[in-house]
Amino acid sequence: ESGIVVDPDSENRGISVAGRVFLFPSAKGSTVGSYVLVTLKKRGVSPTALVMVEPSLVVISGAVVAQIPFIYGVEERILKEVRTGDFIKLNPLRGEVRALDSGVDDNGG
């Protein structure tokens, strides 16, 4: 509801996805996940785009209804190459994800 990841098993727990591109390997959970994406969009705290390694019909259908761009089927290495704070260039029609220069300097600022 707030845009903050609450899954206790997620390495992204406590991170806000609001206004960010959210990269993740796969989805878990029930069909309520689609509703969650739509609710996040209505509240203005949705991610600007979703990038997944493994496609999930629940996530894809939620993204379509919420009109959140998504890419699935990316190589898992992308998850390791992109860091929190990086600027990302997406081409959803081609399934391309590319990290640009980081928005965070080496000193954390």
Which residues are the active-site residues? 30
Residue 88's DSSP bridge partners are: 99
Q: How many CB atoms lie within 10 A of CB 20?
A: 16
Name every residue whose Cβ is closer than 8 Å to that of residue 78 and which is 6 or more positions away in sequence.
Answer: 23, 51, 53, 97
Secondary-structure breakdown of the chain: helix, strand, coil percentages, each rounded to the nearest 5: 25, 25, 50
Residue 51's DSSP bridge partners are: 23, 71
